[in-house]
Amino acid sequence: MVAFLTSDPKRRGKAEERKLRRQMSEAGEISATLRLLAPWIILLASIGLAPLAYLGAQAADAQGFTAFCAAACGTVLVGSSLHLNRGREIFATCHEAFNFGAPFAVFAYTVLYGPNALLEIGTFFAGLASAIIWHKRHGNHTLRDLERRGAASPAAMSAAWRVFAAEHMPTIRDSEMVVLANTKDEFRGGIDLGPGEVPGDIDERVIDKITRWAGGIAGGTTLFVGEQLDRVGVQVLRRDPLKQPFPWLGPSGPGESIIETIDGLGRYRDFVPLTMLLPHVAGKGDLAEDKQQSHMAFTGMSRSGKGDAGELLDVNVACRRDSGVILLDPVKGAQQLGVIGDAAIWSLSTMSAVRAFLWCLVHRTIPMRAQHLGEPWRNPLGKNLREWVPGCGLTWLMVHMYEASALYGNENMVKITEQAASVGIMLLTEAQRFVHDRVDTTQRANTADIVHFGCKDPDDARFTLPPELIDMGAKPWVWRNKQPGMCLTALTHLPLNRQVIPARWARRARDGSDVAAALDEHRPFVEIDLDPVTAASFGDPYAKFAAARQARRDARPRQHAFTGQPGPRYADPLGQPPVTRGAVLVGQPPAPAPAPAEPAPGLVVPPAAQRRSTPAAPAEPAPAPRQVPGTGFDLDPGDDPEFDGTEPGAEEDRAELTEVAERVIGDMAAEMDGDPDAVHVLHQAVDALERMGDPRDDEPQTGPPVERFDDIDFPDPDEDLEEVSRDEAMDVLLDVLAIDIGVGNQFRPSDVYAAIRGRAKRSDSWVRKEMATLTAWGCIRDTEVYGVYEVIHTQRQDRPGPADGGGGSWPVQDL
């Protein structure tokens, strides 16, 4: 079709005609000649060869055997002829059987009894009549075949087009048809328009007449318009290749960047795969056109396949390493979200929550992301970024709004379509009809990419589709909802000749099992963290949602065969190499956390940059159970990497109990933060823990709490040392890690208690509390063993670097 639009169509049509004529003149004439001479050859053989066979058989004394062989051969040929010609006309069947049987009967009689003049004369005239009848039948059949083949030839179809156009299509009466392909499945040709005729003259009625002339199916005609206005390509389908659905084969490119094309969504009628490219993609050259990011809309009547198609797109976005999906459904909630809800960064299912989220997106998220991209010192690329690009430190987001018509009149949703594209946020809305009383007019104008599923009538399509697609033969009202998943992809980065071709989305399993299996298989990518900037803009509601979801995920056993660390660059700003793992329960090391917001009462908010594949922060200050890789349950002591084969004794139990008690007291002290009204509770807990395990104290303590006096204390051997400031204490702690532990080694907080008490006069709880600060600085990171850290570096991150006169060597991370 492209060759027709860019080359001389008349020359191509003549070439096709010459090729067909050559085939008919060579193979056709040879076959016709052989069929014509066949009865004459048989007649001459039966009359001329029979006497010679008699003389030879008589000389060899084998007349009987020769006659028997001739009769047997004739019988086999007659039976085969009757079997192969069953279903044909009786006359044709009997005539062909006579042509096989009579010559062999005469041959066998002559060999057995000798030549007979009367038999030879009768055989000659009977054979002559049969040959003439055979020739007449063959001539009639050949003429009919030539007429049929000639009617389908380019010259004949061009002549038929001229007659049909002059009588039924006055707007293009002077046009010429050039046949490019004419098969049982499709007809492809080119229309050379006459003087004064333009492609716009081929309207919807003319397209229907072209379909009728070419014998196509309803809605199966597509026009192709090039840069020249004197010719139009046309394709008429006689069979719909998308009538039967086909299964979905899984997500495309899991672990790749969202900037790569999403494949495997479905296919077009010409068997080209249905693909999508969502974010902004810069052109390869300075003057090359960029692929712009646009907001998208799924529209079509009820049960036309919008929801299933959107779910396939959600899965593909969720399985990319630097993108995520936010699902909003204020109408159906959990019924619609279902399986795909587990892949979402955030899912909201109430009207009030959705409205609040849209407000947050406009007034907090978009400005904060724009500031991050616009100020070079904030993003890792160190540039002023006009568009979202991979590696910028932000997660590319697709906000999928189901039942968008329920939020008609929400000004924040309109503002999102005006402001969000450049900061890497795409709004995908679903609605049955994109009319003025269901979707805001400004929102429709800002939604450039349309995926139009089946609709009720042409008016619904004209509200959404570009008018040129309707003129080129787009008819989504033909299939309605009888073929779920059929659609037209009016995407701005596709040419019109591709947009007008109908496509069909692949069909997922009815129970969603294939979607769930894909999410489980690629869970390391699905659970990659939301970037700290966006997480901070969402505030406490998102933190609570993430903590609750993580608790549900941690409650189920998970095991993934995965090697490597799939996190994006912003997950480790220190640039440390990833830690490879084998078949383990995937738990990625936490990234530096932003400055924690003030937590709500009674809620421990986890750091925004903590990976979702690691255990969430406990809701209460209690020791966390050790997780065994692969199952999450400590069923066998041999699974413990620290287990040496002997059962722990009383001293080991006492030491472990003491360590747990110290952690509990330290966490309580950190939570109380010097509250004088709660000090007595802390003192009572210390007394209870000190008496724990004492056989003389079998009864629990009752009565009022015991008053503790700070001036009654045992002598401290280090009381001559003064408590240093926090700043100096942090230097001491980093010095201890650098000298006593060493970079790359692992340690527990208890390993540095003594050194910190001796050099900085700081308590054990202070050491445990500052582990979070060191983690945020990137100095240490969690390991798979609970309570064990790995030393990454020992440089402070709250001071300027060497260029500014400070002693640090790492840039300040402003999250």
pLDDT band at 642 (very low <50, low <70, confident <90, very high): very low
Q: Which residues pair with 186 in a beta bridge?
A: 237
Q: Which residues pair with 503 in a beta bridge?
A: 268, 487
3-class secondary structure, 426:
strand
Mean pLDDT across the chain: 76
Q: Which residues pair with 490 in a beta bridge?
A: 450
- Model confidence pLDDT, tens digit, residues 59-115: 888 888 888 888 888 888 888 888 887 777 787 788 778 877 788 888 888 888 888
Mean pLDDT throughout 498-518? Answer: 91
Angle of helix 764-777 versus helix 726-736 axis, rounded to 10 = 80
Q: Are 718 and 757 in contact (CB under 8 A)?
A: yes
- How much is the pLDDT for 486? 95
The residue assigned the tokens 């979070």 is: 772
The closest of 420, 468, 411 to 442, measured between CA atoms, is 411
Kindly write down the DSSP assignment for every residue of 114-127, as one continuous string: ---HHHHHHHHHHH
Q: How many CB atoms lie within 10 A of CB 687?
A: 14
3-class secondary structure, 810:
coil
- The rounded distance, in Å, linking the Cα atoms of 37 and 30 is 11
- The rounded distance, in Å, linking the Cα atoms of 499 and 774 is 54
The closest of 111, 98, 104 to 64, measured between CA atoms, is 111
- The domain 265-278+289-449+505-524 is classified under which CATH number: 1.10.10.10, 3.20.20.80, 3.40.50.720, 3.40.50.300? 3.40.50.300
Q: How many CB atoms lie within 10 A of CB 674?
A: 7
- The rounded distance, in Å, linking the Cα atoms of 536 and 378 is 15
Q: Which residues contact 794 (CB under 8 A, 6 or more apart)?
A: 734, 735, 737, 738, 743, 779
- Model confidence pLDDT, tens digit, residues 258-294: 999 999 999 999 889 999 999 999 888 777 788 899 9
Which range, of 84-93, 188-197, 223-232, averages the lowest pLDDT? 84-93
- How much is the pLDDT for 682? 65
Per-residue three-class SS string for 572-600: CCCCCCCCCCCEECCCCCCCCCCCCCCCC
- How much is the pLDDT for 155? 73
Q: Which amino acid is at 635?
A: L
User: What is 726-804's CATH number?
Assistant: 1.10.10
Q: Which residues contact 376 (CB under 8 A, 6 or more apart)?
A: 382, 383, 384
pLDDT band at 648 (very low <50, low <70, confident <90, very high): low
Q: Are 218 and 184 in contact (CB under 8 A)?
A: no
Mean pLDDT throughout 475-492? Answer: 92
Radius of gyration of the chain, Cα coordinates, nearest whole angstrom: 42
Residue 144 has pLDDT above 50, yes or no: yes
Mean pLDDT throughout 323-336? Answer: 88
DSSP 453: E
Which range, of 447-451, 611-615, 757-761, averages the lowest pLDDT? 611-615
3-class secondary structure, 513:
helix
Angle of helix 29-59 versus helix 117-151 axis, rounded to 10 = 160
- The rounded distance, in Å, linking the Cα atoms of 297 and 121 is 87
The closest of 684, 719, 555 to 625, measured between CA atoms, is 555
Mean pLDDT throughout 498-514? Answer: 91
CA 421 to chain centre: 21
Q: Are 399 and 416 in contact (CB under 8 A)?
A: yes
3-class secondary structure, 231:
strand
Q: How many CB atoms lie within 10 A of CB 289?
A: 10
Q: How many CB atoms lie within 10 A of CB 507?
A: 18
- How much is the pLDDT for 641? 36
3-class secondary structure, 459:
helix
- The rounded distance, in Å, linking the Cα atoms of 767 and 565 is 29
Domain assignments of the chain as residue spans, ordered by start: 10-150, 154-237, 265-278+289-449+505-524, 539-634, 648-710, 726-804
- The rounded distance, in Å, linking the Cα atoms of 336 and 476 is 25
- The rounded distance, in Å, linking the Cα atoms of 118 and 124 is 10
- The rounded distance, in Å, linking the Cα atoms of 409 and 412 is 9
Residue 688 has pLDDT above 60, yes or no: yes
Which range, of 136-140, 292-296, 366-370, 550-554, averages the lowest pLDDT? 136-140
Q: How many CB atoms lie within 10 A of CB 27?
A: 10
The closest of 587, 585, 591, 588 to 569, measured between CA atoms, is 591
- How much is the pLDDT for 586? 39
> Alpha helix (H) ranges present in 465-501?
467-471, 496-499
| Tokens representing residue 305 in the block | 């396949």
Strands 323-328 and 396-401 come out as parallel
Number of H helices, E strands in the chain: 26, 19
Q: Which residues pair with 221 in a beta bridge?
A: 236
Phi/psi region, residue 492 (left: phi>0; alpha: psi -120 to 50; beta: rest), is alpha
| Tokens representing residue 440 in the block | 């805001």
Q: Which amino acid is at 2?
A: V
Q: Which residues contact 811 (CB under 8 A, 6 or more apart)?
A: 801
Residue 715 has pLDDT above 70, yes or no: no
Write out the H or E segment, with its range, that includes residue 747. strand 746-747
- Model confidence pLDDT, tens digit, residues 371-417: 999 999 999 999 999 999 999 999 999 999 998 988 888 999 999 99
Write out the H or E segment, with its range, that includes residue 223. strand 221-225
Residue 612 has pLDDT above 60, yes or no: no
Angle at 773 between CA 772 and CA 774, to 5 degrees: 90
Strands 425-431 and 296-299 come out as parallel
- The rounded distance, in Å, linking the Cα atoms of 208 and 338 is 42
Angle at 627 between CA 624 and CA 629, to 5 degrees: 165
- How much is the pLDDT for 152? 56
- The rounded distance, in Å, linking the Cα atoms of 756 and 77 is 109
The closest of 32, 30, 31, 34 to 42, measured between CA atoms, is 34
Residue 799 has pLDDT above 90, yes or no: no
| Tokens representing residue 519 in the block | 């999410």
Most confident of 7-11, 151-155, 481-485, 606-610: 481-485
The closest of 614, 605, 404, 431 to 528, measured between CA atoms, is 614
Strands 486-490 and 449-453 come out as antiparallel
Distances (CA, A) of 114 to 49, 57, 101, 393, 619: 12, 10, 19, 106, 116
- How much is the pLDDT for 724? 78
- How much is the pLDDT for 62? 81
Residue 529 has pLDDT above 80, yes or no: yes
Sign of CA dihedral 194, 198, 203, 208: positive
| Tokens representing residue 724 in the block | 């240093």
| Tokens representing residue 703 in the block | 């009565």
Q: Which residues contact 369 (CB under 8 A, 6 or more apart)?
A: 394, 423, 424, 425, 533, 534, 537
Residue 599 has pLDDT above 50, yes or no: no
User: What is 154-237's CATH number?
Assistant: 3.30.980
- How much is the pLDDT for 346? 92
